[in-house]
Amino acid sequence: MFRSHTCGELRLHHVGTEVTLAGWVQTVRKFGSITFVDLRDRYGITQLLFGEELNQQLDENPLGREFVLQVTGKVTERSNKNPNLPTGDVEITVSSFKVLNKSAVPPFTIQDDTDGGDDLRMKYRFLDLRRNAVKKNLELRYAVNRATRDYLHQQGFMDIETPFLIKSTPEGARDFVVPSRMNPGQFYALPQSPQTFKQLLMVSGYDRYYQIVKCFRDEDLRADRQPEFTQIDCEMAFVEQEDILNMFEGLIKFIFKHVKDIDYTEAVERMSWEAAMWNYGNDKPDIRFGMKVANLKFPSHTFPSKENNSNLIDSADFKVFDEAETVVAIAVPGCAEYSRKQTDELTEWVKRPQIGMKGLVFIKYNADGSLKSSVDKFYSEERLKAIADFAEAKPGDLILILAGAEERTRKAISELRLEMGKRLGLRKEDEFKLLWVLDFPLFEYDEEGNRWVARHHPFTSPKPSDIETMIGNNPVIENAAEYLKHPYANIKANAYDMVLNGNEIGGGSIRIYQRELQEKMFAALGMDKEEQQHKFGFLLGAFEYGAPPHGGIAFGFDRLCSILGGSESIRDFIAFPKNNSGRDVMLDAPSTIDDKQLDELNIKLDLK
Amino acid sequence: MFRSHTCGELRLHHVGTEVTLAGWVQTVRKFGSITFVDLRDRYGITQLLFGEELNQQLDENPLGREFVLQVTGKVTERSNKNPNLPTGDVEITVSSFKVLNKSAVPPFTIQDDTDGGDDLRMKYRFLDLRRNAVKKNLELRYAVNRATRDYLHQQGFMDIETPFLIKSTPEGARDFVVPSRMNPGQFYALPQSPQTFKQLLMVSGYDRYYQIVKCFRDEDLRADRQPEFTQIDCEMAFVEQEDILNMFEGLIKFIFKHVKDIDYTEAVERMSWEAAMWNYGNDKPDIRFGMKVANLKFPSHTFPSKENNSNLIDSADFKVFDEAETVVAIAVPGCAEYSRKQTDELTEWVKRPQIGMKGLVFIKYNADGSLKSSVDKFYSEERLKAIADFAEAKPGDLILILAGAEERTRKAISELRLEMGKRLGLRKEDEFKLLWVLDFPLFEYDEEGNRWVARHHPFTSPKPSDIETMIGNNPVIENAAEYLKHPYANIKANAYDMVLNGNEIGGGSIRIYQRELQEKMFAALGMDKEEQQHKFGFLLGAFEYGAPPHGGIAFGFDRLCSILGGSESIRDFIAFPKNNSGRDVMLDAPSTIDDKQLDELNIKLDLK
């Protein structure tokens, strides 16, 4: 061992002990004939004192930043203590030292506030990882990993490894594929998730399975998506939805406790998908704050159970509202005194292409009870008051109204709500609010193919009460224009998402376990019997041999860690992430391979 | 929840309780108007009693093997207890039941001694996994996983995930590659091990790293090799070989204790590579038994430090020995009375192509002290006695002697020793004997390329005392015939293998951490500067920024589990293994993919 203690270990009670430390030179400060060095390792920083007798050696061979140093010396009490450092009461009076390895001058400083840009830090990721800020993230990630395993172990789950070289069954996302040298012309696929394997394990009787496992999706990368990502993947047999919800809110609460020391004792709120869309315009609402959406106008098919409220805005000759499919509002607390400049800026904000609105209507509900709006021409103060009341605004609030096509407008009001919540400091980094979103639609309509697509995935079960509707009807959509009238349009899924502070951190479902129902599902997705057999014959086969009722969930591990760490970027929580082109710039991968390799794999390049 | 208890849970103290169980029908036994059903789940088997009033329902809809059944009833004490079953004191008097799912008749019986052949069981792996024998293996695997994580966590190791989509740097084994759609003409590789990443993590200061991680090698599969396999991968910084040996024999002892309840308190034996080859003909000797090799004759370069003993067999005009490069013997205890038939059979055994010997010489050291051999014509009884003494034979032993070319003969005597050990019951399944093999040669000679290859891998450090030899000499071999005289031929590695009962379960090394030495190593392997930079530029670069001394080890997780489970087949310990052609016969993978997929990946098939 090159050390007797770590650089984070020594305290006052060690004073007088002879110790050996090894680590990296963080700083060198020379004061006349003595030199102070801060020595850093994974555990902390310890101050070293080089006295006169060693200074000549240092002069001849100066220490540089990031040199690897081994020192031996006596622990001494510091006259000038540093209360910000756990080791700040002591220093090492060095008696001998050895440079274990030199370092070139690093391309950026190894500090929390580094001077390195993103590209440089990714190229030299091995140096970036030395920074305390990054190290804390990886430590948090490991703590979440450990807590997850501890909880699931206590609950009787078994970690069972599923294969990485599997069969390509693209459904939704693209597979990464791996040419097989031993089976010319054939390919493995890398798993997008262990979905079918964990279901097979349920058929096999391993009734509580989990894995923390890499998954792969060959998608065009958006910011903060990675081609390889990690899932906490779980499945249970002989359970109903309620059992899964309880088990896995238990997991997240356990993680809160063991990683963040937060007692999350309250029950996790539950909300139907419809309520989430109605109240927040979003299926993963941030419920740390209110500011719910007021639905002034909407197409009746979107919320069949809700009454329309367009009378509040109708008959005013205001074309923008009259011609809009959807008109929605939020009441922003305490912002009635926004200046013209501020409302103009908000208008510009909603007109950005990412939001895509044509404009913004606002009503100021002044503290004195009077109302003033950008549409005074069309609406009397009385009508404005009615709208404000409908939006549950209080004096002092600013009501923001968006109008346009349903889907885009609902998304826009959701974004605007989140933005206003952020500006008002309502989205507190240290406040955590969990939510289950339930009762999703089972299908979405695919216009291009005039067919159904599975909203979650093709293995998700309908609600028990909808099974008959599904079995008893032909999934084919005869009349594309009236797809909404097809009985499948209203089938609800036995699916659930867990949302944390407005982020979907996990999702799952009770699965189909009957061959007939699974075949019906595949047929709804446009797969004929032959394709079903080719792609999923093993699963349909398994369902014939005593498949138990089962269900599960998968959590996005990278995302979960980043939220717990208070960051928006998952890359900060991955040791060796890829950039937005799917490249590892440190390795310079992907890269070309030898002709011999291609030849052995029976493939050749076909560049356009 | 479909059950109140599991099928392994109920005991006498539950008698009188109303319970609900769910599981699979193991057996159905009808006795007149009552029916007994054994219900099975992951946790055990519970007997169900269906009385008269339910029997009509059973008659109308008979239960079959592997049906999924939910029953409710009262726990009752059995009149006819089954002491072999933990639940054998009780049964459930069923009051109501529901068939949750039917099952077709399984293609083989779900029992320890199944009637299913290997191919059938692999095709229906989801049924094979229901068998208790397979379930026990996966449970053991999870227990080893859990114990490994517990120990390493206690020792301050962090689980840090390394990427799966990396750069192809084939060195030794072939890489599996993954075409990149977003980077046309370029490929990722799947990692053969996280070797370079864990070294980068040491450079980054994460001084105790581990992972239980999938690795990939595209090799021609031999029996019991898998294209994807799992490693316990570990690395430590600021350590010397001794620290690693201590840390990881601690790990294996911890696993013994927590998985097998074995107190392995003795120190793990250590042996140099040379001693292993000398005494056992093998670098992973099974030291559960003796029967050490007696080296009668050998080429002097193979064991430069050893004296030759050919005087014992010389000058007898026995051509077989005279012309052989190597003559080696073992004394098999208590087998002097082997019949002619038995010695003939042994001769046939060593002549099999897998062993490849031309014949077998034997000496019977009879209980009365007389000696009889198959070479009596050439050797007097006195000389036979001298050979027997040299082989440390005792009266009653059978001495077996092999002669031939060094490498093949040494391997053959090793195989023969293991075979005789097995036949004599000396390789006990429940006895575990660990061994460190140390001081391996750093290089092997590659005749084809007239260059060196790394025996372990190119990141393994030479012994500190050999570093100067390595730095100070040109690695190029000027004279192929005299490669043994090259200074590199005698360099020893700072490498170690852990051997358990004759199987290498782990191996590792202290790594090179100096750029200059690493470049020299790459040069020795025939890599020019450009190739070094292309393949390993990131690592050489990292070594310039303060790389600490470090080393590590990797354990073959599948193999470790199979040995602990007392099986020779790793496939029995993998949930979804591949066959010897690298196929998953259950999934039918690999398989062809769509032209669209090929097109998007910018590749086409090039079948010969």
Residue A434 sits at φ, ψ, to 5 deg, of -90, 155
Interface of A with B in 180-209 (CB under 8 A): 180-190, 197, 200-201, 203-207
Mean pLDDT, chain B, rounded, equals 95
Helix (H) or strand (E) segment spanning residue B596:
helix B595-600
Q: What is the structure's pLDDT at B224? A: 77
Between the two ends of chain B, the Cα-to-Cα distance in Å is 56
Residues sharing a CB contact under 8 Å with residue B35, sequence separation 6 or more, in sequence order: B28, B29, B49, B50, B54, B55, B58
Q: What is the structure's pLDDT at A432? A: 95
| pLDDT interval class at A185 (50, 70, 90) | very high
- A423 and A445 assigned to the same domain: no
d(CA A517, CA A510): 13
Edge to edge, the sheet with strand A550-556 lists A158-159, A208-216, A228-237, A550-556, A503-510, A495-500, A434-438, A269-272
pLDDT above 90: residue B376:
yes
Read off the pLDDT of residues A460-519 as tens digits, 9 standing for 90 and up.
Answer: 999 999 999 999 999 988 888 888 889 999 999 999 999 999 999 999 999 999 999 999
Which chain A residue lies closest to B5 (C-alpha atoms)? A238
Lowest mean pLDDT among A181-190, A573-582, B20-29, B109-118: B109-118
CA distances from B208 to A150, B152, B201, B496 (A): 20, 9, 9, 18
B8 CB neighbours in chain A (<8 A) are none
Asked if residue B194 belongs to a domain, the reply is: no
- A418 and A303 assigned to the same domain: yes
- B25 and B56 assigned to the same domain: yes
Read off the pLDDT of residues A7-16 as tens digits, 9 standing for 90 and up.
Answer: 999 999 999 9
Asked if residue B568 belongs to a domain, the reply is: no
Helix (H) or strand (E) segment spanning residue B523:
helix B515-524
- A411 and A446 assigned to the same domain: no
B577: nearest Cα among B554, B561, B594: B561
CB B227 within 8 A of CB B216: yes
Asked if residue B166 belongs to a domain, the reply is: no
d(CA B544, CA B557): 34
Helices marked H in B46-187 — which ranges?
52-60, 118-123, 125-128, 132-154
d(CA A398, CA B558): 64
- A304 and A410 assigned to the same domain: yes
Asked if residue A254 belongs to a domain, the reply is: no
CA distances from A19 to A60, A74, A93, B267 (A): 25, 6, 10, 28
DSSP SS3 for A395 = coil
Using DSSP, how many helices (H) and how many strands (E) does chain A show?
A: 16, 23
Read off the pLDDT of residues A317-335 as tens digits, 9 standing for 90 and up.
Answer: 999 999 999 999 999 999 9
DSSP SS3 for B122 = helix
Residues facing B452 on adjacent strands? B445
Kindly report the nearest CA distance between residue B239 and chain A, in angstroms.
5
Rounded to an integer, the average pLDDT of A107-113 is 91
Its domain, for residue A359, covers: 289-427
- B397 and B464 assigned to the same domain: no
Q: What is the structure's pLDDT at B304? A: 87
A41 → closest Cβ in B165, B205, B214: B205
Q: What is the structure's pLDDT at B176? A: 96
Kindly report the nearest CA distance between residue A264 and chain B, in angstroms.
24
Per-position b or e across B235-259, b if 16+ CB within 10 A of its CB: bbbbbebeebbebbbebbbbbbebb
Q: What is the structure's pLDDT at B269? A: 97
Helix (H) or strand (E) segment spanning residue A75:
strand A68-77
- B415 and B530 assigned to the same domain: no
Q: What is the structure's pLDDT at A112? A: 87
Could you give the ipTM of this predicted complex?
Answer: 0.95
Q: What is the structure's pLDDT at A568? A: 84
Read off the pLDDT of residues B530-572 as tens digits, 9 standing for 90 and up.
Answer: 999 999 999 999 999 999 999 999 999 999 999 999 988 999 9
- A346 and A456 assigned to the same domain: no
- A394 and A479 assigned to the same domain: no
- Does the beta carbon of A424 lie under 8 angstroms from any beta carbon of chain B? no
B179 CB neighbours in chain A (<8 A) are 177, 179
- A316 and A392 assigned to the same domain: yes
Read off the pLDDT of residues B245-282 as tens digits, 9 standing for 90 and up.
Answer: 999 999 999 999 999 999 999 999 999 999 999 999 99
Which chain A residue lies closest to B128 (C-alpha atoms)? A204
- Does the beta carbon of B98 lie under 8 angstroms from any beta carbon of chain A? no
Mean pLDDT, chain A, rounded, equals 95
Rounded to an integer, the average pLDDT of A259-274 is 96
Q: What is the structure's pLDDT at A306? A: 93
d(CA B199, CA B543): 10
Kindly report the nearest CA distance between residue A589 and chain B, in angstroms.
5
In terms of pLDDT, which residue wins out, A222 or B40? Answer: B40
CB B149 within 8 A of CB B259: no
Pick the last residue of a domain from A49, A70, A101.
A101
- Does the beta carbon of B351 lie under 8 angstroms from any beta carbon of chain A? no
Q: What is the structure's pLDDT at A4? A: 98
| CB-based contact A165 B547, cutoff 8 Å | no
Q: How many CB pairs under 8 A join A and B?
A: 352
Asked if residue A564 belongs to a domain, the reply is: no
For residue A322, give the CATH number of its domain: 3.30.1360.30
Q: How many domains is chain B partitioned into structurally?
A: 3
Which chain B residue lies closest to A514 (C-alpha atoms)? B101
* Long-range pairs for A82-88: beta carbons < 8 A, 24 or more residues apart: A82/A47, A85/A44, A85/A45, A86/A8, A86/A11, A86/A44, A87/A7, A87/A8, A87/A9, A87/A10, A87/A11, A87/A44, A87/A45, A87/A46, A87/A47, A88/A47
Rounded to an integer, the average pLDDT of A353-367 is 96
Q: What is the structure's pLDDT at A592? A: 93
- B309 and B390 assigned to the same domain: yes
Read off the pLDDT of residues B185-224 as tens digits, 9 standing for 90 and up.
Answer: 999 999 999 999 999 999 999 999 999 999 999 998 777 7
Rounded to an integer, the average pLDDT of B341-348 is 97
Kindly report the nearest CA distance between residue A35 and chain B, in angstroms.
21
| pLDDT interval class at B294 (50, 70, 90) | very high
Q: What is the DSSP letter of B500?
A: E
Residues sharing a CB contact under 8 Å with residue B221, sequence separation 6 or more, in sequence order: A182, B227, B578, B580, B581, B582
Rounded to an integer, the average pLDDT of A299-310 is 90
d(CA B176, CA B134): 29
Q: What is the structure's pLDDT at A448? A: 86
For residue A32, give the CATH number of its domain: 2.40.50.140
Helices marked H in A177-230 — which ranges?
195-203
Residues sharing a CB contact under 8 Å with residue B430, sequence separation 6 or more, in sequence order: B566
Asked if residue A94 belongs to a domain, the reply is: yes
| pLDDT interval class at B116 (50, 70, 90) | confident
Under the phi-then-psi rule, with left for phi > 0, alpha for psi from -120 to 50, and beta for the rest, what region is B155? alpha
Pick the last residue of a domain from B396, B427, B458.
B427
Read off the pLDDT of residues B38-92 as tens digits, 9 standing for 90 and up.
Answer: 999 999 999 999 999 998 899 999 999 999 999 999 999 999 999 999 999 999 9
d(CA B215, CA B164): 9
Asked if residue A222 belongs to a domain, the reply is: no
User: Is cis: bond before B590, omega within 30 of 0?
Assistant: yes
Pick the last residue of a domain from A86, A101, A116.
A101
DSSP B348-399: HHHHSTTT--S--EEEEE-TTS-EEETTTTTS-HHHHHHHHHHTT--TT-EE
| pLDDT interval class at A88 (50, 70, 90) | very high
Asked if residue B477 belongs to a domain, the reply is: yes
pTM summary value: 0.96
pLDDT above 80: residue A134:
yes
Rounded to an integer, the average pLDDT of A526-532 is 93
DSSP SS3 for A295 = strand
Helix (H) or strand (E) segment spanning residue A320:
helix A319-323
pLDDT above 80: residue A248:
yes
Task: Pull the structure tokens for residue B155.
Answer: 């020792």
> What pairing do the DSSP bridges indicate for beta strands A68-77 and A18-31?
antiparallel
Q: What is the structure's pLDDT at B187? A: 97
Helix (H) or strand (E) segment spanning residue A38:
strand A34-41
pLDDT above 90: residue B170:
no
pLDDT above 80: residue A223:
no
CB B495 within 8 A of CB B486: no
Q: What is the structure's pLDDT at B262? A: 97
Read off the pLDDT of residues A371-394 as tens digits, 9 standing for 90 and up.
Answer: 999 999 999 999 999 999 999 999
DSSP SS3 for B243 = helix
- B471 and B341 assigned to the same domain: no
B582 CB neighbours in chain A (<8 A) are 165, 180, 182-183
Between the two ends of chain A, the Cα-to-Cα distance in Å is 56
